[in-house]
Structure 1
Amino acid sequence: MILRTMTAMALAIGSTLLSGTAAGQTANPSLTANADGVRSDQTVREIALRRIELSVVVRGGLAETGVTAVFSNPGTETLEGDFRFALPEGAIVTGYALDLADYMIDGVLVDRPRAKAIYEERVRGAVDPGLATVGNDGVFHTRVYPVPPRGERRIRLRFVAPLASAAQSDELYSLPLDIAPRDGWSISVSVAGDGPAPSINWPGRSVGPMARDAKGWRERAEGRAPLSGMLAIGRGALPAALLSRNSLGERYVQLSGAVTTGTPARSDSVRIYWDRSRSHARGRHEDELLLLRRTLAALAPKRIELVLFNSSGADRRTVSGIDAAIAALKAVRYRGASSFAALTQESAPVDRCLLFGTGRPSIDRAARLTAACRLDAITTVPDADLAALRQLARRHGGQAHRLGADASLVERALAASTPGVTDVVDANGRSLPWISVPSRAGRWMVLARAPEGDAVAIRIGGESVRVDLPAEGAAVAFEGEGQMLASDALASLGASERRAEYVALSRRYGIASPSLSFIVVESPDDYVAADIAPAASYPATLRVEYDKQRREADGEQAEARRERIGEVIERWTEQVAWWERRFDPKAKPQRPAAQRGDVVPAEPVLVPVPAPLSIPTPSVQVDSVTADDLSQQRKLASEEGSGEIVVSARRVNTVQIAIDAWQPDRPYLKLLDAAPGAFDARFAAIETEHGGVPAFYFDIAAWLAKRGRTADAVEMVLAALDLPSADERTQTIVASRLERYGAIDRAIELRERIAVIEPDRPQPKRLLALALARRAKLRPDTAKTDLTRAVALLGEVALTPWGNDWDGIELIALIEANALIPTLRALGGEATLDPRLVKHLDTDLRVVVDWDTNATDLDLWVDEPNGERAIYSNPRTAIGGLLSNDMTSGYGPEEYLLRRAPAGKYGVKVDTYASDRIDPNGASVVTVRLIRNFGRPDESEQSVDIELLGDDDGEKQVGTITVRPR
């Protein structure tokens, strides 16, 4: 399957200093390959790590690391190389480069889904791209294509990481390696500063003290023998101030000092915020509870409050003592997504607050926790957002801690009364950008932007300590401090809330993140075609050619925008003419419609489906009907022998749609079906085995919703957002399910997020518009605002020249926009559409399909009562059926319209014509919407998700629509 960013890297992280060392990755680095970039078990091929070179520079509390890897293809097929490197805890990836011709080309940071799409499009075109990502699990991952037969490729990685803190050991930079490169390896290490020689250990053997030179301590080794074990480096001496200057000319300083021994802090009241979302399920709870027990024993509170929170709200309780608190936390069930929405109202003041969680809300991201107390944050979750936790703690006068193998330093910090650093200011008392970083026992350390003056003041509690800065000549070239501070600032921008600022800051300092990936493409025209600018370091000769082609492309794009309105008006005028034409309801098929040699029979053959369910499924939005109506509908459905939508000119007679024909065949669903009353007990067991992928939570949510447990279904589907493998595709499916379950505000939040991060596809904007329109039906007070924006978004979709891949989406968007305009005008609003594009086209029947994979050609078929099939080769039928343009490159939508529907049965099918050739095993989720009386006051809709696996080529029955005579 196409590898969604880090989907295959849902790794179980152990209690190690490395977030990336996991059961799922036995070697660091790891290297695999697939023939021709097709990712399946059948295409796995041998590939060799030929050489690896590592360079580590330790300065104060930071370490910069460079990795160069060369891998070779011993076979005769063209391969895609897949290289992964587990990063030290807290590491920030700051650079990636790939060899192209005679150059090492630096990658450009691009929105993750767009970078992936650019990469895979070029793999399909057999040109040279490279894609590098860093996942929430702390693993760097690059895909490189092609690795030619008997050829090799070279990649370069750079990252910066804070050194770990330790009470008993100075070995604070730790990197596990398991390598056996054919042409050998080299490792160079330098540690800045005076003082005793830092210790160093090569993987699997001890080297001893490092050698001294004018700048500090150095060691270098190389060889051919395999290395397996931990590269461990001790911290150098910690002076009061280390001054650095980065390549942007900015000055930074590392400051450190001794911690004043504090007395045990007594607190009469302690509040414990405990994240009970799916994200915290990956934490080391035994370690957290041991730390909590010891901390509470030291604080000796008279009152202990527990606040258990997730996306479903907060459970607040007061417990009788430490044992009761620990027992309650041991019993927590981790469900839903991480959210602070239930914690925005400040509770009664308490002396101390402790928060255990990840710091990264995956939903309700605008909500901010407020607590009337000093708050310290603790995490053991490998992919926790430490920068967000630092900011949260800092707002409340506390500190954030990652609980590692040695918990004693965290325990002392939580139990002591001596506060940590609360601010760093210049000579005029202005706060400087700063963050705390781990230090050795008995010391504090911060990184700060250096002011123009010669001193700074460190505020610790109510005191201020002056620290003199080194002379300007002492500044050393070093990038790490600026990158760490920029990473901290990114946490306040959010990955999508302030996207332009987020991207600009990330690119300024070269910081990759789960939402921004590095991309390298082959030539200047590839950069132009992908509409991305190459890195500033792009070779000068190639830059000249890129600039020339970019100017030409800009002119062509401007011309396309000018011509777009005329093209759309012409197509819309033709669509209106179709709508206004009177068709003969008794017309015979114009010709047999064929699809790949399959001639439609005289009477449509429909796949048998089971009798309708007595309870509507979560995929069905049911019209409001009376008890007598339902009785009549069940009788009609029983007589017909299948579940179907029955449409008449007045009302829907049967509103059920049978989905058993495509319901996922999952063993865990059968287990739950066998004993619905034992859900909680059985769910805990099956989640352990199956809960590593989003599809599991979608299945369970559907099971719950079918049984009327809508709130539980919402909680379950939101849990998918907290998985390390969750990506934009996950968010899209979650948004769709939330709309069906009635959680419209959260659905819109996700739609907004996707639209921001995927601006180069029309579908996210269209789906956001439709979600806003749904909310307008529910919220009269905001309906005008929502509808105004929805129409504007659909107009943008219609008038933007997207290119041939999505030709035809403009007519679908205009159909949908015009259906909203009458309601908008009734509310006193006005559409921003060109008047020539305003015409309300209502229809008896409308069928729309969308799907969620790229480069997948999926077709909508409708078999009409007269035996004619509306299909891409026969888009206009004798009775007036109209099928939209065939979308062959992925995502859809495709649409069938019929203004006046003759009586009879309409069979709706989807057909997988071609899956992505580099994604033969991936499952596409197809959403089919069946709508009657579209654009009319009595409009109603049923929708269903169908999962299509890579081997599901061919047609699949969706359902039937029966129109009865008036």
Structure 2
Amino acid sequence: MKRYKNLLTLALLSLILSVKAQMPVLKVQQENAEQSVMMKKLDIDVQITGNIATTVMTMTFYNNANKILEGELSFPMPEGVTVSKYALDINGKMRAAVPVEKAKATAVFESIERRRVDPGLLEKVEGNNFRTRIYPLPAKGSRTVIIGYEQELAFVNDKALSYHLPLAYQQAVEDFSLKATVYESVLKPQMQEQPDGSFDFKTNGNVYVAEIHKKDFLPKRGLTINLPKRSDLPEIQLQKASAGYYFLINVFPKSPSKPRIWSNQIGLIWDASLSGMQHDRQKEMQLLDAIVKQKRNLTIQLGLLNNGFRNAGTFRIKNGDWTELKNKLNQVVYDGGTNFSSIDDKSLFADEYLFFTDGLSTFGKNTIALTKPVHCINSSLKADYSTLKYISLKSGGQFVNLNNLSAKDAFKQLSEQQLQFLGIKNGSDLRQTYPAMRVNVNGNFSLAGILNELNTEFILQFGYGNEVVTEQKLRLNATEHALASIDVSRIWAQKKIAEMDIQYEEHKQDISHLSKQFGIVTRNTSLIVLENLDDYLRYDIVPPAELRGAYEAALKVRRNSLLEQKTNLMNAAVAMTKELKTWWDTDFNYKETSKVKEEYPVPERATEDIVSIPRMAETARRETENRQAVRRPAPAAERLQDAKQGQALHEIVVVGYAAQAKRELTGSAVTLNNALAGRVAGAVVRERGNTEARPQPKIVVQKFKSDKEYIKSLTGTPDSAYAAYLKLRPDYISTPMFYFDVANWFYEQKDSVRALTILSNIADLDLENADLYKTLAYKLKQTKNYKEEIFVTEKVLQWRPMDAQSYRDYALALADDGQYQKALDNLYSVLTNDYNAQISDRDHGIEEIIISEINNLIARHGKELNTRQIDKRLIQSLPVDVRVVLNWNKNDTDIDLWLTDPTGEKGYYGNPKTKIGGRISDDFISGYGPEQFMIKKAIKGKYKIEVNYYGDQQINISGPTTVTAEIYTRYATGKQQREVIVLPMSASNKTGNLVGEFYF
């Protein structure tokens, strides 16, 4: 019997709503719009030693609802900062997380979550952004989360490092605590900004402490601490290791600046995507103003970047007057996703470029085709710093982070040759020092590494280009430098990872190894908390220290019995291929029972009227072979099958029509009459000379029309409708279906350029949201934007490599684009990958869909394919008259495919095999599907396709579940045709959502 899910209405609750503030945002699942979750307690501890600040936030959330909820806490991090501490309360005690490969951590979390126990997961998403998933938030109960990170502080002026913590909360916190401690500071720290007017440092030797504890507190301001430094006193931190010492050095080299000459031809690349609205445009305009005022006379070519790239004009500036360009920038409409790969110097040629962007290329690859220096300038808190640094370094430009610099300091950085760290002299006792590449100094320089001997002298060299202009001698000695109170090894690991991350693909294995050793979250490593020892054993994850002893003891005895088994789908695929072939070979001779058959008198026959007609059968066999040859050269197995079929036809005895048969046997020309033209043992016998093909079926899809109020505002010309859309957008800025609906309207008006731009906004709404990207991929497939479909599905595959559907979606996108070999390889990998037991059980039956698609590729493009790696047991000719395949964008979702044939019989999960030969694949009651209907020989009439949606359980912003249905006729033949329909689902419609119809 069909299993039903509890239906939940999803909403997003943002406890903290500051776009500009660098602070956590909690999203939860709830039944109504009332805020049912609050931050009950917040304890922040800040410790600063030298140029390193450690921040630990302990947050307790209270769920006032009468049901269990799930939460997602997300927050951006500054440049160079990554989370290194994460803990979750388990059975009343805080349990520390351990590092695991990101894909494995996601799969384990989702597997355990379904067992209704207490996992916790913290992961890094696109750019330098982090999120943690918390389950459960108990009804009328609370959960506590600890998040900690180390931060290397930067100079804000020539004499002081700066620490900043935003506190722009929208709700008062019932129990609020804040403590800041500065260790070993020669000069007193300065409180530039503090939360309530009373927060100030008290001195205890060279240690400075400030703290407050308040009830029902809503901070008025954030916390900003300036730490003055003496340029003549280097700061040195040491930590003993198993071999040698880790060290961290902070120095403050000085050198006169050298001016840099700006080019006369500058290309200005302006990020005009939806995410561009979150940039600090005021700071960016101030920086541009300073550049123009210094240069005074120059030519600037403006390029606007969103999902595409276009030249927006040439501006010849005289005497520093750039009013025209300024007005143009102030009128920019921010709309669409972001595609770096659309940038090229043919559209915008210049001698150097200013690229104002956050580094997040959401709708295309993050590489640009420019050979001249590119200065990347970021003012957004959500940014991909590694991409920005890579583009700048590769092109010979500079990276400027306006989050850490004023416009004045940023201008100084760009307009002067920056003093750079060039290397180490006499450093034979040092190894693994980072940074290892040349970097700008900007007032202070920090170096981390491993020291072999603790009595070592070496020299740091600084200069311009290859010219050394200043040196600083340093001595590391245990008697002069006490061991550090901070974890220097983790600072070293973070600096090494940050440098390797600039070229991530080249170093991802080393990054993974290093991040797991030091417990650092990276783009391929997450932190996970599990509830009990058995889970750590089952998933082969080394637990935190508190469980380590029990884990190692149990490992010897119980590991083999508890370790989760992984398997591929190959054996099931081979069995399914046999089942499909048996079904395909079955002759479903459907006869309508509703009509009364007319009885005819039986004539008497002479003996000679009963003859065998082997030649007629041979003619039919040859016609069948000729039709198959049009598709592809038949492999040996198929030729053998045809031979067997032909032999069977030779043995057929036909009663009557003796004269016609005799003429055929003597070689006379003959036209078989209609009485004999038909199916004989599964082969079609046509009238000789009749070359008319079966009529092409007609597919009619259900056009989706949104009934939302905002669609009614889209009237008149496309220009006026676009203006109306922009006016409406602020009210729906984070609603995915708004962009989907409006894009659909513009597609209907044949304005595909605007439609694609509006649709691509979905990519900018949330970071690493596979549900959103799947919806986007479906619509890109439907609208034949295949290059973009490949990018989007490849992203989902990177984020969710544990899902068979990720490989399938990517493979089908490749096939859409004509990349058939890569498509075949990725489809086949669905069957050869290893899956954990939960995912394998969830996706049971997907092999039926994959087999059909593999054989479709081989049937239609076999001459272009290398099939040697494909298990030959899977290769079968399986052409069908009808194939409908359905998949959807959300996990934990129950959707059913219904297909009603011309006889009125409905094929669905409860009736998977219909009388006319229709076949429904396995029912997916969770996961992403897909489900499939096929019929080998369709009878005449109308076929109706419907989708029944039972519901889903989700916590993100992806909106309602979206399905895509691909409707094929004459599938796996030379006459294949396809229609794609994309529909958002409504759980309220229990009678089925109409997808489309087709007619044979």
TM range (shorter): 0.7 to 0.9
* Residues 137 and 919 (structure 1), Cα distance of their counterparts in 2 relative to 1, 3 Å cut: closer
TM-score of the pair, normalised by structure 1: 0.80
* Residues 67 and 919 (structure 1), Cα distance of their counterparts in 2 relative to 1, 3 Å cut: closer
Query: CA offset at residue 942 of structure 1?
Result: 0.7
In structure 2, the partner of 1:905 is: 942
| Contact 2:118–2:135 (CA under 8 A) maintained in structure 1 | yes
Q: 2:996 aligns with which of 940, 951, 959?
A: 959
Query: CA offset at residue 835 of structure 1?
Result: 1.7
Corresponding position: 1:226 with 2:217: yes
Query: CA offset at residue 55 of structure 1?
Result: 2.0
Corresponding position: 1:243 with 2:236: yes
Q: Which amino acid aligns with 1:193?
A: S
For residues 747-800 of structure 1, what are the alpha-carbon distances to aligned partners after superposition, in whole Å with 9 as ceiling and x for unaligned? Answer: 223322322321211101111222222222xxxxx54x3354245335436999
The unaligned stretches of length 5 or more in structure 1 are 21-28, 590-647, 777-781
Tell me the distance in 2 between the aligned counterparts of 1:381 and 1:921: 23
In structure 1, the partner of 2:491 is: 481
Q: 1:758 aligns with which of 781, 785, 800?
A: 800
SS of residue paired to 1:468? strand
In structure 1, the partner of 2:585 is: 580
SS of residue paired to 1:292? helix
| Contact 2:572–2:847 (CA under 8 A) maintained in structure 1 | no
In structure 1, the partner of 2:829 is: 793
Tell me the distance in 1 between the aligned counterparts of 2:736 and 2:873: 44
Tell me the distance in 2 between the aligned counterparts of 1:383 and 1:918: 21
Q: 2:560 aligns with which of 547, 551, 571?
A: 551
Q: Which amino acid aligns with 2:885?
A: V
Query: CA offset at residue 933 of structure 1?
Result: 0.5
| Contact 1:48–1:181 (CA under 8 A) maintained in structure 2 | yes
In structure 1, the partner of 2:22 is: 19
* Residues 91 and 685 (structure 1), Cα distance of their counterparts in 2 relative to 1, 3 Å cut: farther
In structure 2, the partner of 1:615 is: none
Q: Which amino acid aligns with 2:177?
A: W
Query: CA offset at residue 98 of structure 1?
Result: 1.1
Tell me the distance in 2 between the aligned counterparts of 1:908 and 1:659: 13
| Contact 1:187–1:221 (CA under 8 A) maintained in structure 2 | yes
In structure 2, the partner of 1:407 is: 406
In structure 2, the partner of 1:644 is: none
SS of residue paired to 2:914? coil
Corresponding position: 1:835 with 2:834: no
Query: CA offset at residue 517 of structure 1?
Result: 4.8
Corresponding position: 1:385 with 2:377: no
Corresponding position: 1:652 with 2:696: yes
Tell me the distance in 2 between the aligned counterparts of 1:484 and 1:182: 35
Corresponding position: 1:812 with 2:808: no
* Residues 810 and 76 (structure 1), Cα distance of their counterparts in 2 relative to 1, 3 Å cut: closer
Tell me the distance in 1 between the aligned counterparts of 2:768 and 2:924: 26
Tell me the distance in 1 between the aligned counterparts of 2:436 and 2:313: 36
Q: Which amino acid aligns with 1:242?
A: E
SS of residue paired to 1:145? strand
In structure 1, the partner of 2:31 is: 40
Q: Which amino acid aligns with 1:793?
A: S
Q: Which has the larger radius of gyration?
A: 2
SS of residue paired to 1:320? strand
For residues 792-817 of structure 1, what are the alpha-carbon distances to aligned partners after superposition, in whole Å with 9 as ceiling and x for unaligned? Answer: 33543699975221111111111111
Q: 1:732 aligns with which of 755, 765, 774?
A: 774
Tell me the distance in 2 between the aligned counterparts of 1:185 and 1:684: 43
Corresponding position: 1:285 with 2:286: no
Corresponding position: 1:125 with 2:125: no
Query: CA offset at residue 921 of structure 1?
Result: 11
| Contact 2:10–2:955 (CA under 8 A) maintained in structure 1 | no
Query: CA offset at residue 329 of structure 1?
Result: 2.4
In structure 1, the partner of 2:97 is: 107
What are the residue-to-residue correspondences of 1:682-693 with 2, within 5 Å? 682-693=724-735
* Residues 151 and 798 (structure 1), Cα distance of their counterparts in 2 relative to 1, 3 Å cut: closer
For residues 277-297 of structure 1, what are the alpha-carbon distances to aligned partners after superposition, in whole Å with 9 as ceiling and x for unaligned? Answer: 333232232332232012211
* Residues 31 and 911 (structure 1), Cα distance of their counterparts in 2 relative to 1, 3 Å cut: closer
Tell me the distance in 1 between the aligned counterparts of 2:725 and 2:305: 20
What are the residue-to-residue correspondences of 1:171-210 with 2, within 5 Å? 172-177=162-167, 185=177, 187-199=179-191, 202-210=194-202
Q: Which amino acid aligns with 1:392?
A: I
Query: CA offset at residue 581 of structure 1?
Result: 0.4
| Contact 2:200–2:210 (CA under 8 A) maintained in structure 1 | no
Tell me the distance in 1 between the aligned counterparts of 2:184 and 2:700: 72
Query: CA offset at residue 570 of structure 1?
Result: 2.6
The unaligned stretches of length 5 or more in structure 2 are 1-6, 595-691
**More displaced 10-residue stretch of structure 1: 942-951 or 416-425:** 416-425
* Residues 89 and 913 (structure 1), Cα distance of their counterparts in 2 relative to 1, 3 Å cut: same
In structure 1, the partner of 2:575 is: 570
Q: CA RMSD in A?
A: 4.1
* Residues 863 and 343 (structure 1), Cα distance of their counterparts in 2 relative to 1, 3 Å cut: closer
What are the residue-to-residue correspondences of 1:739-750 with 2, within 5 Å? 739-750=781-792
Query: CA offset at residue 183 of structure 1?
Result: 6.1
Q: 1:69 aligns with which of 59, 64, 67?
A: 59
Corresponding position: 1:466 with 2:502: no
Tell me the distance in 2 between the aligned counterparts of 1:714 and 1:397: 34
| Contact 1:568–1:799 (CA under 8 A) maintained in structure 2 | no
Query: CA offset at residue 885 of structure 1?
Result: 0.6
| Contact 1:848–1:928 (CA under 8 A) maintained in structure 2 | yes
| Contact 2:338–2:360 (CA under 8 A) maintained in structure 1 | yes
**More displaced 10-residue stretch of structure 1: 467-476 or 420-429:** 420-429
For residues 674-695 of structure 1, what are the alpha-carbon distances to aligned partners after superposition, in whole Å with 9 as ceiling and x for unaligned? Answer: 4434244333323333232333
In structure 2, the partner of 1:296 is: 292
| Contact 1:54–1:187 (CA under 8 A) maintained in structure 2 | yes
Tell me the distance in 2 between the aligned counterparts of 1:915 and 1:138: 30
Query: CA offset at residue 116 of structure 1?
Result: 5.7
SS of residue paired to 2:992? strand
| Contact 1:773–1:790 (CA under 8 A) maintained in structure 2 | no
In structure 1, the partner of 2:645 is: none
Q: How many residues align?
A: 872
Query: CA offset at residue 927 of structure 1?
Result: 0.7
Tell me the distance in 1 between the aligned counterparts of 2:186 and 2:836: 61
Tell me the distance in 1 between the aligned counterparts of 2:228 and 2:202: 11
Identity level (%): 23
Query: CA offset at residue 892 of structure 1?
Result: 0.4
* Residues 267 and 310 (structure 1), Cα distance of their counterparts in 2 relative to 1, 3 Å cut: same
| Contact 1:434–1:485 (CA under 8 A) maintained in structure 2 | no
Query: CA offset at residue 746 of structure 1?
Result: 3.0
Corresponding position: 1:364 with 2:364: yes
For residues 528-571 of structure 1, what are the alpha-carbon distances to aligned partners after superposition, in whole Å with 9 as ceiling and x for unaligned? Answer: 556755457754324544675543355844xx55xx64443233
Tell me the distance in 2 between the aligned counterparts of 1:370 and 1:7: 42
Q: 2:967 aligns with which of 924, 930, 942?
A: 930
Q: Which amino acid aligns with 1:211?
A: T
Query: CA offset at residue 147 of structure 1?
Result: 5.0
Query: CA offset at residue 189 of structure 1?
Result: 1.6
* Residues 472 and 189 (structure 1), Cα distance of their counterparts in 2 relative to 1, 3 Å cut: same
* Residues 298 and 341 (structure 1), Cα distance of their counterparts in 2 relative to 1, 3 Å cut: same
Tell me the distance in 1 between the aligned counterparts of 2:944 and 2:734: 37
**More displaced 10-residue stretch of structure 1: 824-833 or 930-939:** 824-833
For residues 55-79 of structure 1, what are the alpha-carbon distances to aligned partners after superposition, in whole Å with 9 as ceiling and x for unaligned? Answer: 2122344321112234566887656
Tell me the distance in 2 between the aligned counterparts of 1:478 and 1:688: 45
TM-score of the pair, normalised by structure 2: 0.77
